[in-house]
Amino acid sequence: MVERVGRVVIRPAWREHAAAAGEVVVGLDPGMAFGTGQHETTRMCLLALQDRLRPGDRVLDLGTGSGILAVAAVALGAGACLALDVEPQAVAAATANAALNGVDGRVEVREAQLESLGDAAFDLILANLNAATLTALAAGLHRSTRPGGSVVAGGIIAEREASCREALAAAGLRLVEGRADGDWRTLVLTRD
């Protein structure tokens, strides 16, 4: 089944889809990894990505899963995307999906954690994780976002939203938008 999320159309790897004017098509075989475009958190992150991405941005997809956000970022105009995950099956799926979409030269996939990046800074960070992980990584997310850059923090269940917002704010990230879909929340933040 083909999924439409804003300008992005996600198609299963085994299915063809001709892009209409203005559409960006992402072919996807998630394998054992999270991220098909059907979950509320992935959809909200894809919409926020379309709103926040500027041509040529350097993007970090933290917890890449299937690689759907990394591939979409580059297809939408990012200069390059570094996709990290700690799960080997996610790294394999994201690597395969970058190749499937012909963006493997601009999407680098690594089995690594945020801390491994040192002082590297990104224009846009996509972090579709969960509230506990986002809270624990708040300082690292701030450090890894260049001044004026944005963080899209997803995977937050409604009852954990307030504590997650507080941790991100305490780390120096300013909330610019909150999105909701059912019990799920996605926060868009900026580093001043």
Region of 50 please: left (phi>0), alpha (psi -120 to 50) or beta: alpha
Q: How far is CA 42 from its chain centroid?
A: 8
| Residues whose CB is less than 8 angstroms from the CB of residue 187 and which lie 6 or more positions away in sequence, other chains included | 151, 152, 153, 154, 156, 161, 164, 165, 168, 175, 177, 178, 179
Q: How many CB atoms lie within 10 A of CB 187?
A: 25
Q: Is 144 strand, coil or helix?
A: helix
The pLDDT tens digits along the chain (192 residues) read: 789 999 999 998 888 888 889 999 999 986 766 677 789 999 999 999 999 999 999 999 999 999 999 999 999 999 999 999 999 999 999 999 999 999 999 999 999 999 999 999 999 999 999 999 999 999 999 999 999 999 999 999 999 999 999 999 999 999 999 999 999 999 999 999
Among the listed residues 63, 52, 54, the one whose alpha carbon sits nearest the alpha carbon of residue 128 = 63
Every domain of the chain and the residues it spans: 30-191
User: Does the pTM of the predicted model rise above 0.85?
Assistant: yes
Which CATH code fits 30-191? 3.40.50.150
- Give the start-end residues of each E strand in the chain: 3-5, 8-12, 24-28, 58-62, 80-85, 107-111, 122-128, 145-157, 173-181, 184-191
Q: How far is CA 161 from its chain centroid?
A: 18
